Amino acid sequence: MLAFHALVALIVPSFIWLGFWQLDRWEDKSAEVARQEANMAADPVPVGRLTAPGEDVSADEQWRRVTATGHYDAEHELLVRNRDGSRGVGLHVLTPLVTADGTALLVNRGWIEQPPTATSRPDVPPPPEGRVTATGRLRFSETEESTGIRVRDGLPEGQIMIVDVDRIAANLPYPVYGGYAELTEQRPEGTDPPEQVPAPEANTGMNLSYAVQWWVFTGIAVGGWIFLMRREIADARDDEEPPQPNTEAGAEPASAAPDGNGAEDTDHEAARSDARL
């Protein structure tokens, strides 16, 4: 039993700690979702107020809506592979929007379907010509670690795996703002534009339920330990009690044992016999 007590002493604090760890993760995700919703609900601001060339987007500014005015550079447009849309896996269309001061904002214009083969050129709707004002959600530059997507070589020309802004900017003839924007609105809209990337869903995950589960396991462990301890104490008490005499086997029947009433009956019989004589 000593090993069992040691196991319970180890398990119970561990389960309690795991519950609080999951609760902390839930609180972090809840705070992130709240910031995300607040940023998307805020009024759009010029992109230059939140980011600059060579800088990444801060965590507090991601999902803020930004605006930029300029012209699209379709010549340097890129297609981002393996992106989900309403009709399955397809491509995102990433087009630089060059502003009046010569700085470009990478704009994710939306989702298009996958071409029939991996090497064929998909049919990409062209961006609007001339002066365009675009509004979109500001996003981090992507990395292999943040996306879980492995960058590989040998892709068709003009296609990439992740939106690595610094790497893309190195191949462009103008400076590029840090981060990129997921298009939500543009004027003019253009003809048959790509399918817009939907806003992220508010999801705090399952961490709160996991925390409750760990604490339920804690209660089960403590309850099981108490039950076994009570049973062990009861068994110990039974072992300490003296054995009770067994009257069911080998005991003389009570009627056969001599007692006072039997002797009195014998005396009466003797007296009656003497009287008859």
In a domain, 57, yes or no: yes
User: In 3D, which of 216, 204, 215, 219 has the Cα closest to residue 18?
Assistant: 215
Say how many CA atoms lie within 13 Å of 146 toward its Cβ. 9
Which H/E stretch holds residue 69?
strand 65-72
Residues with Cβ within 8 Å of residue 93, at least 6 apart in sequence: 77, 79, 80, 108, 109, 110, 111, 112, 124, 125, 194
> What is the total residue count of the chain?
277
In this prediction, residue 258 has a pLDDT band, given cuts at 50, 70 and 90, of low
In a domain, 183, yes or no: yes
Catalogue the long-range contacts made by 7-14 (C-beta closer than 8 Å, 24 or more residues apart).
8/221, 8/222, 8/225, 11/221, 12/218, 12/221, 12/222
Q: Identify whether residues 57 and 173 lie together within a single domain.
A: yes
Q: Identify whether residues 6 and 136 lie together within a single domain.
A: no
In a domain, 277, yes or no: no
User: In 3D, which of 63, 8, 12 has the Cα closest to residue 33?
Assistant: 63
- The residue range of the domain holding 130 is 46-187
Cα 44 versus chain centre, distance: 30
Q: Identify whether residues 52 and 182 lie together within a single domain.
A: yes
In a domain, 274, yes or no: no
Cα 241 versus chain centre, distance: 56
Residue-level pLDDT at 164: 96
Q: Identify whether residues 66 and 103 lie together within a single domain.
A: yes
Q: Identify whether residues 91 and 21 lie together within a single domain.
A: no
Distance CA 223, CA 133 (A): 65
In a domain, 78, yes or no: yes
Q: Identify whether residues 13 and 145 lie together within a single domain.
A: no
Distance CA 136, CA 95 (A): 13
Least confident of 48-57, 166-175, 194-203: 194-203
Distance CA 76, CA 155 (A): 16
Residue 268 has pLDDT above 70, yes or no: no
Who wins on pLDDT, 200 or 106? 106
In a domain, 69, yes or no: yes
Q: pLDDT per residue over 64-88, tens digit each?
A: 999 999 999 999 999 999 999 988 9
Residue-level pLDDT at 273: 54
Look at the chain and report how many structural domains it folds into: 2
Q: Identify whether residues 210 and 94 lie together within a single domain.
A: no
Q: pLDDT per residue over 87-126, tens digit each?
A: 899 999 999 999 999 999 999 999 999 988 877 788 899 9
Residue-level pLDDT at 242: 64
Who wins on pLDDT, 149 or 245? 149
Pairing outcome for strands 65-72 and 45-46 = parallel
Residue-level pLDDT at 261: 54
